[in-house]
């Protein structure tokens, strides 16, 4: 039985909480025992907001021990697994400390504020022998898993071009402090950069144009071209300043030699050359559920988190940092280390 502590009960904390409850109801050999948030008293009966609806608006947390102080929770509980759903600038130091204390750690994306911090987290996991996984949830999202399978097994030939997009209306609070969140480029665009990295490996160079829209924030809108030796035309864009009721959106269009895949509004349509198109038959489960289940199975079985290794997540941060250097210089191509 894995005893789990959840730190952070904001939007993503609740998303993870819902999935632990579901997994416990399904009979997984786990027990969520403690929840910590500096605002736990206010949050436990409050509504939350976010890009994707969580299961509930109000929560009954009486079955769990509640803490408003991280150290207090860690010194009071014997936890096998700690799940971090905290603002990004808090990830690195806390994750390393937890690994050193002997806990397995699931940490929300982006892994950390810098690639250097990310590499330190990966090194700490390797040295302590504890499992660290970053919640790069798209690697577990059924439509993106389907795309990955098409790239890997070559059923439609090679990829010739692709476009990825994520957008939402402006976030609030700490997200608008670039020092804490890294802005839209690190916080939101990291999802698609990570998918490009996961699908095709590191590009040779990136060129990015980005701009500030919200006063005092970091980059709020970005467009990046990823340069690969085979010349595939790949672009990813993110914009967290969508207006009106445009809402949250994640889409892709990937063109293969013998098919086009189009993902929008939660539906993946496959258009093979010379054949009628079809809608892919995908699991209705969200990536969050699949990601948490995969992580817990890896911890229980002592197997590596090869779908999303910490080294690979740190590599994604190296690409993001190159994108920021490119954007800072007006879009010149920047080599990936
Ligand atoms: N995977 C995804 O799709 C996805 C979506 C949204 C956010 N995220 C990531 O999840 C992380 C959290 O984002 P969020 O949207 O849940 O933010 P949030 O602001 O909704 O929640 C963060 C919570 O952490 C708590 N907190 C802050 N400092 C604390 C401390 N020192 N001790 C205890 N509690 C503390 C806050 O009170 C808050 O409730 C970020 O890294 C974000 O980038 C991932």
Please give the mean pLDDT across all residues of the chain. 95
Ligand 1, pocket-test mutation among 5, 8, 175, most atoms within 8 A of CB: 8
Cα–ligand 1 centroid distance for 276 (angstroms): 44
- For atom 4 of ligand 1, the residue with the nearest CA is 12
Which residue's C-alpha comes closest to atom 31 of ligand 1? 38
Q: What CATH number has the domain spanning 2-137?
A: 3.40.50.720
Taking the C-alpha atoms of residue 161 and residue 114, their distance in angstroms, rounded to an integer, is 29
Taking only the tens place, the pLDDT of each residue in 174-184 is 999 999 999 99
Least Cα distance to 199 among 229, 162, 225 occurs for 162
pLDDT tens track for 288-304 = 999 999 999 999 999 99
Backbone φ and ψ of 119, nearest 5°: -65, -40
| Domain residue extents for the chain | 2-137, 139-288+317-335
Give the span between the Cα atoms of 329 and 249, in whole angstroms.
Answer: 28
Question: How many percent of the chain have pLDDT more than 70?
Answer: 96
57: exposed, middle or buried (Cβ count in 10 Å: 0-12, 13-18, 19+): exposed
User: What is the rounded CA–CA span in Å between residue 284 and residue 192?
Assistant: 21
| pTM metric for this prediction | 0.96
Q: Give residue 49's pLDDT band: very low, low, confident or very high (50, 70, 90).
A: low
Condensed to tens digits (0 to 9), the pLDDT of residues 115-167 reads 999 999 999 999 999 999 999 999 999 999 999 999 999 999 999 999 999 99
Question: CATH classification of 139-288+317-335 is 3.30.360.10, yes or no?
Answer: yes
Per residue in 233-246, pLDDT (tens digit) is 999 999 999 999 99
């Amino acid at each position: 039985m894995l005893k789990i502590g959840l730190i952070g009960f904001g939007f993503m904390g609740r998303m993870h909480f819902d999935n632990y409850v579901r997994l416990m109801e399904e009979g997984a050999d786990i027990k969520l025992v403690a929840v910590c948030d500096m605002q736990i008293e206010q949050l436990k009966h409050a509504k939350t907001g976010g890009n994707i609806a969580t299961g509930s608006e109000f929560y009954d947390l009486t079955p769990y021990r509640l803490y408003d102080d991280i150290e207090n929770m860690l010194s009071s509980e014997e936890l096998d697994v700690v799940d971090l759903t905290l603002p990004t600038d808090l990830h690195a130091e806390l994750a390393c400390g937890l690994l050193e204390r002997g806990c397995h750690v699931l940490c929300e994306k982006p892994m950390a504020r810098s690639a250097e911090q990310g590499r330190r987290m990966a090194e700490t996991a390797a040295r302590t022998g504890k499992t660290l996984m970053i919640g790069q949830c798209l690697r577990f999202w059924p439509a993106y898993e389907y795309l990955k399978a098409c790239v890997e097994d070559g059923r439609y030939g090679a990829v010739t071009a692709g476009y990825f997009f994520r957008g939402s209306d402006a976030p609030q609070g700490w997200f608008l402090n670039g020092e804490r969140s890294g802005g839209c480029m690190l916080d939101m665009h990291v999802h698609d950069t990570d998918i490009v990295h996961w699908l095709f490996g590191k590009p040779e160079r990136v060129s990015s144009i980005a701009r500030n829209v919200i006063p005092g924030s970091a980059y709020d809108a970005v467009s990046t071209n990823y340069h690969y030796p085979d010349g595939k035309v790949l672009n990813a864009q993110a914009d967290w300043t969508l207006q009106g009721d445009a809402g949250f959106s994640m889409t892709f269009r990937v063109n293969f030699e013998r098919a086009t895949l189009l993902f929008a509004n939660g539906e993946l349509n496959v258009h093979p050359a010379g054949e009628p198109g079809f809608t892919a038959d995908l699991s209705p489960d969200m990536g969050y559920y699949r990601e948490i289940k995969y992580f817990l199975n890896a911890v229980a079985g002592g197997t590596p988190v090869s779908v999303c290794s910490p080294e690979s997540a740190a590599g994604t941060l190296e690409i993001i940092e190159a994108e920021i250097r490119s954007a800072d210089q007006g879009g010149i191509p920047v080599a990936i280390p």
